[in-house]
A and B are shown apart, each in its own frame.
Chain A
């Protein structure tokens, strides 16, 4: 187990392993997305209150889950990179940021599209929407800092500190926003009537959640492979690879 872990820390080993895994992950993602969408959009019954428009949750909810999950991955990798100075942790953190930002954006867009028929407007200063928007700002700040620092190693460390500060702040921001909203306008309508979901709706949702996780893994490996090549371009193994190609 430990040997595998240490091997994974080596960019060369990661590069070849990820190269082998990407097709598997990619096809599995595709299969699950097709299955999840079929289950969610066609098989699942329509909601008795929201009609057909509730079906956007099959994209919205997994995207929102991923947006938080990826930030946690970035912060964890940041901590690993700061403490054990593992190169691969830096690579994973920096490759994750744009994917996380994309999921956050997707969650916001699908949320506001759902809000139009449900709430009558595209945007409501709902606590959850607002904290998701702030999360997007945190992602953009992370990416901005990363782009501003030329030296890759310092950029990764600086971003790691930022991600850790962000992780401490996310719960504070989340609860302060929730508190702010409930105090201003009382409980918001739709969100509060959370009831247990029917299995026919829950299964496609969970399928989509797994599919999104696998999609993240696939794209992450692709991005990380590019990042590894870029960072290690002066090493002999990358030069050999380039000579073969």
Chain B
């Protein structure tokens, strides 16, 4: 067997996961539909009054994004676990954490990016002031990769379990709280016309931290789950 370089392995996995995602398009659409439906429930449940919705908008959009990410997490390792590809991944000579990062990146590209692209539309639905749309976009761009990275740890810990779905949310949601606080606050501040650079820096710091540490924890968790 000729040895492949680490970067080749990384891109191969990325390409493979993207191809797989493209072939099962319907599964990717579901969390997005969920995202839209949850948000459209709020005007029905609370009030269609623009003033109320405007105030709720940052929190509602972010909580919905959180839940949509949580729903999509299961697809991250599930099919690979079922057909044994995950075992092969762990047997690879390359560091598991880097390969895991490729998988998470692929997952974010197919779930996080569509969420990002939809967000301005939903901002309009909830009467978010147009000045805040850019900030909403920025927080989602910085925040949704963190959600995928942290979520991967939770999925990796529960992949071997039959009823892992609810447990993942129990494990992961408390860890999402800092992202939620900074992101929703940044959007509210932007809507009020206040500076938001500080919150965005915090989100960037959280992204850097989870980018470096989460793949290691995910790799360790996968090794435990697949033993």
Question: Interface on A for B, CB 8 Å cutoff?
Answer: 82, 134, 137-138, 140-141, 144-145, 148-149, 154, 157-158, 161-162, 164-166, 168-169, 172-173, 176-177, 179-180, 183
Contacts and interface: CB of A to CB of B under 8 A. Distances in A.
B153 interface: yes
| Chain B interface size range | 20 to 34
A144 B178 contact: no
Contacts of B227: 154
Contacts of A180: 181, 185
B175 A158 contact: no
A161 B224 contact: yes
B178 A172 contact: yes
Interface SS of chain A: helix, strand, loop or mixed?
helix
Given A137-B173, A180-B185, A145 B167 contact: yes
A144 B224 contact: no
Contacts of B221: 158, 161
Interface SS of chain B: helix, strand, loop or mixed?
helix
Contact of A134 (B167, B174, B202, B206): B174
Nearest to A179: B181
Given A157-B224, A164-B217, A173 B177 contact: yes
B217 A165 contact: yes
Contacts of B173: 137
Contacts of A176: 177-178, 181-182, 202
A165 B161 contact: no
Contacts of B171: 141, 144-145, 162
A157 B178 CA distance: 26
B214 to A, nearest CB: 8
Given A154-B225, A173-B175, A177-B177, 9 more contacts: A140-B170, A144-B167, A145-B167, A148-B164, A166-B175, A172-B178, A176-B178, A177-B181, A180-B181
B28 interface: no
Contacts of A149: 160-161
Interface in B66-81: none
Contacts of A134: 174, 177
A172 B206 contact: yes
B163 interface: yes
A140 B157 CA distance: 15
B158 interface: yes
Contacts of B164: 148
A89 B70 CA distance: 32
A149 B159 CA distance: 11
Sorted from nearest, which 10 A-B pairs have the closest CB atoms? A176-B178, A137-B174, A157-B224, A141-B171, A180-B181, A141-B170, A176-B181, A158-B157, A172-B178, A161-B221
A154 B225 CA distance: 7
A148 B181 contact: no
A180 B58 CA distance: 14
A79 B178 CA distance: 24
22 contacts: A82-B220, A141-B167, A141-B170, A145-B157, A145-B167, A145-B171, A148-B161, A148-B164, A149-B160, A154-B160, A154-B224, A154-B225, A158-B221, A161-B220, A161-B221, A168-B213, A169-B174, A169-B178, A173-B175, A176-B177, A176-B202, A183-B185
Contact of B167 (A148, A161, A169): A148
A157 B223 CA distance: 10
A85 to B, nearest CB: 12
A180 B182 CA distance: 8
Interface in B147-196: 153, 157-158, 160-161, 163-164, 167, 170-171, 173-175, 177-178, 181-182, 185
B224 A148 contact: no
